[in-house]
Structure 1
Amino acid sequence: MTQGGLYDLLVVGGGINGAGIARDAAGRGLSVLLCEQDDLASHTSSASTKLIHGGLRYLEYGEFKLVRKALQEREVLLHAAPHIMWPLRFVMPHMPNLRPAWMIRAGLFLYDHLARRELLPGSRGIDMRRHPAGAPLVDSIRRGFVYSDGWVDDARLVALNALDAHEHGATIRTRTRLVGAERVSGEWRATLADEAGHTTEVRARSIANAAGPWVGDLLKGALGSTRTRHSVRLVKGSHIVTKRLFDHDHAYIFQNPDKRIIFAIPYEGDYTLIGTTDIEYGGDAAKVEISADEIQYLCDSINRYFKHHIGPADVCWTYSGVRPLLEDESAENASAVTRDYLLELDAPANDAPLLSVFGGKITTFRKLAEEAVDKLADALKTPARTWTEGAPLPGGDLADANFGRFLDEFRRDAPWLPADLAHRYARAYGTRASRVIGAARSTEELGEEFAPNLFEAELRYLRGNEWATRAEDVLWRRSKLGLHIGRDSLADVSRRLDRWFASAGSTAPPSRATARLHSP
């Protein structure tokens, strides 16, 4: 066991809330250590529907405050990272037997006006017989509505928050779990363990428990049976991916007879993303998988609307995640459980504070982080000015948030890059795409090609800057290249990548926070 210094804040959990808290705190000048038991965004935060949205359906449950907050954050985030987030138009076909048209129009009016919009156009009614989005749908659907929300690459959003935290001085330790922690002489003494079982003791003035589905387990176990007034309700959300079901660039939002909402979204160019389910979950959050019934449910939901029917055999890929929603005993079903969050601060007099995060949604992560650090800074008596609202994420400093203009400039600067590769680099890394290609002036100079358009230069960047240590980190979280490789080649590509990481050494980016630690 080695001894560490004294941090202002130990963040437990490398999902979107933990990474967001670490970024906010580090940017305020606090010394921060974040530990994550697996890879960044390994669980809930890479298993979302990939939307930055207010949550139109939450209006039906009276969640006006949450929707307004999410709509305000939607605009903030679209400005902060226009390379990994962008506006998306949604088509809602009207089914008179499910919700009357007046109710939908009223809901969309509220959705348009609950918060100011700068980037997104408002809603309107459409004739499905004339709009391109009507062509794939059954002929009985004659009218509908269109409105705006946003798309996000959820796993990259987490990685960029962690990277920004690191560049503001935070230490990020992936595949490192919290074994135990106790309050000693006004501070936390925490034991961390890496994959090999090697332990490190660190000291921290405060802890943020952002463990998502494990927030309650941490309070009952590693954090010494800390008492809490709140809990989370685990709800499984599953998605399927099929070959592209339509040619236009709009997404669909479908109403089901059971009042659930299903999205069908253009995905990765050649595919359609369909989801999600909302099912109570009582199993191991680390081993969640889609069931055959869920696959059939999502196929049936699509077949209710599309002329071309799909079945389980058409599914190319699936993913599932467990959402740790704030327990709401008044909600009779999983779909009605609030997506809002609650921050619980345990701050005994003259002792180290503990903040636990219950619930939340990806759209409101920045606001959650800001409020969390406000509470912690106040408890630590180290107030600091908020800063993230107008700050771009790494790579997001595009002039006027104009991705198209940036892509044109990037392609002019690197005309030798194939068009599809240039587009992928620009989307994934924004203004930092030039760091990925480095001094290369041809694809040959990018190094070995492990799969179509996956070169060694990108692996070196992800290993050295984004804590990637193995094939799955690259293929399924830092990118979705695994979907494009094909089942026959995927296992071989994964083995080659794992061998590359093993030979290169899986070292994380060097810490910049050491000099700012408090003296023992």
Structure 2
Amino acid sequence: MEISQHTLDCDLLIVGGGINGAGIARDAAGRGLSVVLCEKDDLAAHTSSASTKLIHGGLRYLEYYEFNLVRKALIEREVLLRSAPHIMWPLRFVMPHDKGQRAGWMIRTGLFLYDSLAKREILPGSQGIDLRRHAAGSPLKPEFTKGFVYSDGWVDDARLVVLNAVDAAERGAKIFTRTLCTSAQRQGDHWLAQLRTASGSVVAVKAKSLVNAAGPWTAHFLQTAAQRPSAKSLRLIKGSHIVVKRLFDHPYAYIFQHPDGRIVFAIPYEQDFTLVGTTDIDYQGDMNKVAIDEKEIAYLCELTNRYFRRSITPGDVVWTYSGVRPLVEDEAASASAVTRDYRFEMDADGPPLLSVFGGKITTFRKLAEEAVDMLAPKLPTRSSGAWTAKACMPGGDLFGSQPTNQSVLQFDRFVQELQKQYAWLPAALVARYARAYGSRTRMLLAGRTRVGDMGEEIAPGLYVAEVNYLMEHEWAVSAADILWRRSKLGLHLPAGSEAKLDAWMRTSRAVA
């Protein structure tokens, strides 16, 4: 085992490369604090790439009286949409009214509250619709004649995590992926931690504070590496999703309620598919091997068939993914009723240790801001104040350096301008680049003027230029990193593409 010859000094050592850890790293680095982040696997390898991929207030949380959480999330929707209009966009949701559910007036009241809890500039309000005349009605069974439509947002969750890490790194943070924090001990006014990389080498880190953002492993990290067991307990909830061939041709998403009270979404996905999820069940298995089971697949198929004319079976499922949400135990009877709000635990018995419990993607920026607000006064390094509410994510500066409504509402114009600029590439490929990289498409394509400059086409639509960009700027080291997290190209490519890409990347690293 190789041990580093020097020790990294920093203000914050962050353990965990999911959305919370990456968000805290970005916020802290932008305030002038020195940051080291370690993640035992790839960025967003677990819970943060296994969400339903929504930027939403959480309409269903109103029935649990989670008004503060809903309001906080509703405020964040448009802040986030403006900051990253390439990987997020508005989405209209249709809720068919089932006669066995709540009365229509109750749903209208709930939607009115949802519309009114926070200011909206981009997203239109809710309304009742006649499904016999509305485009979203045709794929549904004929008994669903009335419904409601409201607004929320869509997000590429894994890319959101990566872009937070990119921004943090460009502001001075050191990001270590596939690096496990094996121990962290207080020594006087600092923490001394040992990080073990994938190659087996050990990096020593001397940190003025420690942030535990390990997600489902938060309690485990406290008990083992930090040896500081917490009084808080997490309730691990597994959420699973299925992907099937496209069930409808319009741009609306659906929100369905199962007779058992659980909510399931059916969402347009990757042009050719429909995403259906999520399940909410308690989980006690190996957190490194989370996978959907047959009962969950059957459950999602059954609910889909309850509403759509076209039936699906488990044999129609082309891909699945599952993740474990680490939620704060609040004695709720059902998994779906457990609060999605976050909690902090500050251990100030010496250099600070801040542990993050719970949370959801929509409120990650606010969580990060509050976390750094708590830590900064306890650090000797002078830092600036909160800044992320009015800053673009990398690639989000489509029409100027500041977040604007225009970037959200006129994204198609940005795509068209990019397609004109790079007319030598297929228009569909430029559109994909625009959605993945935003304004940084120009960085990816810098110095290239013809298709031959893109290098080998390793798989259909995947050129060496893009793979090199992801390896150099986004910590991609395997085909799975590229095909299933930094993109969803794995859904579209022919069999054998992943193995071919892995072989190319191994050869590329060997040559380098």
If the length of structure 1 is used for normalisation, what is the TM-score?
Answer: 0.95
Look up the match of 1:391.
391
Look up the match of 2:505.
501
* Separation in 1, partners of 2:101, 2:511: 54
Look up the match of 2:437.
429
Structure 1 residue 234 displacement after superposition: 0.3
CA distance change for structure 1 residues 346 and 112 in 2, over 3 Å: closer, same or farther? Answer: same
Look up the match of 1:6.
9
The one-letter amino acid paired with 2:436 is A
Answer whether contact 2:258 2:303 (CA < 8 A) is retained: yes
The one-letter amino acid paired with 1:503 is T
Q: Secondary structure at the match of 1:285?
A: coil
Structure 1 residue 436 displacement after superposition: 1.3
Q: Secondary structure at the match of 2:74?
A: helix
Look up the match of 2:111.
108
Look up the match of 1:413.
421
Q: How many residue pairs were aligned? A: 500
- Structure 2 residue 475 is the aligned partner of structure 1 residue 484: no
* Separation in 1, partners of 2:186, 2:363: 31
CA distance change for structure 1 residues 52 and 322 in 2, over 3 Å: closer, same or farther? Answer: same
* Separation in 2, partners of 1:53, 1:507: 45
Look up the match of 1:256.
258
1:290-332: CA deviation from partner (whole Å, max 9, x where unpaired): 0001000000000000111100011110000000011111x10
Look up the match of 2:232.
230
Among 449, 463, 466, which residue is 1:455 paired with?
463
Q: Secondary structure at the match of 1:246?
A: coil
1:152-182: CA deviation from partner (whole Å, max 9, x where unpaired): 0000000000000001100000000000010
Look up the match of 1:340.
341
Look up the match of 1:164.
167
The one-letter amino acid paired with 2:461 is N
* Separation in 2, partners of 1:73, 1:82: 14
CA distance change for structure 1 residues 506 and 53 in 2, over 3 Å: closer, same or farther? Answer: farther
* Separation in 2, partners of 1:45, 1:239: 14
Look up the match of 2:51.
48
CA distance change for structure 1 residues 22 and 213 in 2, over 3 Å: closer, same or farther? Answer: same
Look up the match of 2:403.
none
Answer whether contact 1:91 1:147 (CA < 8 A) is retained: yes
Look up the match of 1:473.
481
* Separation in 1, partners of 2:7, 2:476: 24
Look up the match of 2:306.
304
* Separation in 2, partners of 1:173, 1:507: 22
CA distance change for structure 1 residues 344 and 439 in 2, over 3 Å: closer, same or farther? Answer: same
Look up the match of 1:181.
184
* Separation in 2, partners of 1:74, 1:168: 25
Q: Secondary structure at the match of 2:163?
A: helix
Q: Secondary structure at the match of 2:13?
A: strand
Q: Structure 1: which 4+ aligned runs deviate by more than 4 Å?
A: none
The one-letter amino acid paired with 2:314 is P
Q: Secondary structure at the match of 2:288?
A: helix
- Structure 2 residue 65 is the aligned partner of structure 1 residue 62: yes
CA distance change for structure 1 residues 506 and 471 in 2, over 3 Å: closer, same or farther? Answer: farther
Answer whether contact 1:241 1:315 (CA < 8 A) is retained: yes
- Structure 2 residue 284 is the aligned partner of structure 1 residue 282: yes
Look up the match of 2:274.
272
Look up the match of 2:143.
140
1:245-270: CA deviation from partner (whole Å, max 9, x where unpaired): 00000000001100000100000000
The one-letter amino acid paired with 2:249 is D
* Separation in 2, partners of 1:442, 1:256: 52
Structure 1 residue 506 displacement after superposition: 8.6
1:212-267: CA deviation from partner (whole Å, max 9, x where unpaired): 0000000000002x132312110000000000000000000001100000100000
Q: Secondary structure at the match of 2:275?
A: strand
The one-letter amino acid paired with 1:396 is G
The one-letter amino acid paired with 2:337 is A
**Structure 1 range deviating more: 14-23 or 435-444:** 435-444
**Structure 1 range deviating more: 401-410 or 334-343:** 401-410
Correspondences of 1:373-384 after superposition (within 5 Å)? 373-381=372-380, 382-384=382-384
Identity %: 62
Answer whether contact 2:459 2:501 (CA < 8 A) is retained: no
Among 295, 313, 319, which residue is 2:315 paired with?
313
1:458-511: CA deviation from partner (whole Å, max 9, x where unpaired): 00100010000110000000000001114xx2xx32222222222222999xxx
Correspondences of 1:74-113 after superposition (within 5 Å)? 74-113=77-116
Q: Secondary structure at the match of 1:304?
A: helix
Among 240, 244, 247, which residue is 2:246 paired with?
244
Q: Secondary structure at the match of 1:241?
A: strand
CA distance change for structure 1 residues 157 and 285 in 2, over 3 Å: closer, same or farther? Answer: same
Please, which runs of 5 or more residues in structure 1 have no aligned partner? 509-520
Answer whether contact 1:262 1:274 (CA < 8 A) is retained: yes
Answer whether contact 2:50 2:321 (CA < 8 A) is retained: yes
* Separation in 1, partners of 2:418, 2:41: 34
Correspondences of 1:432-447 after superposition (within 5 Å)? 432-447=440-455
The one-letter amino acid paired with 2:298 is Q
Answer whether contact 1:377 1:384 (CA < 8 A) is retained: no
Look up the match of 1:291.
293
- Structure 2 residue 29 is the aligned partner of structure 1 residue 26: yes
Please, which runs of 5 or more residues in structure 2 have no aligned partner? 400-405
Query: What's the RMSD between the two structures over aligned residues?
Result: 1.2
Look up the match of 2:205.
202
- Structure 2 residue 126 is the aligned partner of structure 1 residue 131: no
